[in-house]
Structure 1
Amino acid sequence: MTTASNVHAEIKTLLEGWCTGVREKNLDAIMAYYDPEIVAYDAIIQLQFRGIDAYRQHWQFCLGMCEGAMLFETHQLVVHGNDDVAFAHWLNKCGGTDEKGEEKSSWMRASAGYRKTADGWKAVHEHFSAPFDMASGKALFELQP
């Protein structure tokens, strides 16, 4: 039987590998984190992504937007789960460096649902978002935790 602390440790390790893949712009490492039937609600481009192929194309686009070093970190990770299903939420600091080497980043909200497969834990649902101002319709990228 899996304990809550084991599930937390396993999901944390999974997320750390995924974040490393993002920072290294390693598309195969990023995609290894996801279940083939992933449903994702990302903060940009479209309302939803269904399936690994659609999300892979999206990640490829996103990685192409960052020319400098990538910044991608999880903070305040909370995990709940049992032997075969888990849920996590965290704050994600993401961005990169510009042509002058200056950091350009913001905080995002993230949550994910996981299923334990023969290949280990895989994300089956992911949601990234930024809070926004209702009056202006603009994202609030300057907020800090």
Structure 2
Amino acid sequence: MEIEDFFKIYQKSAWDKDASAMIDLYDEHALIFDMWDQGYVSNPSEWRKIITDWLGTLGEEKVKVEFEMVKIHQSGNVGFASALIQFQAISGDGTVLRSMRNRISLGFSKIEDGWKVIHQHTSAPISSDGLTALLEI
């Protein structure tokens, strides 16, 4: 896998609710700084559970993921990418039920079968009142 493939595979695996394909993008020792609940995950089985629960509880809904402003830098066996990521919950009839846009930064390491995410950080800016995450950037 090349770094740019991450974005296509993540997008497709979210739409297809394919937790295994999404989890396979990550190194088994990846550190994930997430916006939800505890804020970070460093245990591979915990990350697997989070992804499986997220995609497995969607019912008839689908998740449309779009990336914007993708920037990739790589040298040797180390790579970095950043982007805006938009999630849309789509009903069975194609209606957008809810959406949010976050920022994502990714660190990659090149291993035998390609690049794997070793670090991920998602965030949203906070309003100037300091109390509200701005989920539409």
Contact 2:126 2:133 in 1 (8 A): yes
- What residue is the counterpart of 1:73 in the other structure? 66
| Alpha-carbon distance change, 113 to 24 in structure 1, aligned in 2, over 3 angstroms | same
The within-5 A match list for 1:11-26 is: 11-26=3-18
Q: 1:129 aligns with which of 106, 123, 134?
A: 123
Decide which moves more: 107-116 or 60-69. 60-69
- What residue is the counterpart of 1:5 in the other structure? none
The within-5 A match list for 1:44-123 is: 44-67=36-59, 68-98=61-91, 101-103=94-96, 104-123=98-117
Contact 2:102 2:136 in 1 (8 A): no
Contact 2:86 2:102 in 1 (8 A): yes
The size of the alignment, in residue pairs, is: 135
Contact 2:17 2:62 in 1 (8 A): no
Matched position secondary structure for 2:72 = strand
TM-score, L = length of structure 1: 0.83
Contact 1:31 1:52 in 2 (8 A): no
Per-residue deviation at 1:51? 2.8
Give the Cα separation in 2 of the matches to 1:76 and 1:123: 19
More strand by share: 2
- What residue is the counterpart of 1:6 in the other structure? none
Matched position secondary structure for 2:121 = strand
Give the Cα separation in 1 of the matches to 2:90 and 2:117: 28
- What residue is the counterpart of 2:32 in the other structure? 40
Equivalent pairs: percent with the same residue? 26
Q: Please report the RMSD computed on the Cα atoms of aligned residues, expressed in angstroms.
A: 1.9
Instruction: Provide Cα deviations, 1:16-55, integer angstroms capped at 9, x if missing partner.
Output: 1122111111011001100000100111121210032111
Contact 2:67 2:83 in 1 (8 A): yes
Structure 2: gaps of 5 or more residues: none
TM-score, L = length of structure 2: 0.88
Decide which moves more: 134-143 or 78-87. 134-143
Per-residue deviation at 1:117? 0.5
Instruction: Provide Cα deviations, 1:76-135, integer angstroms capped at 9, x if missing partner.
Output: 110111120000000001121247642121211001000000121000000111122252
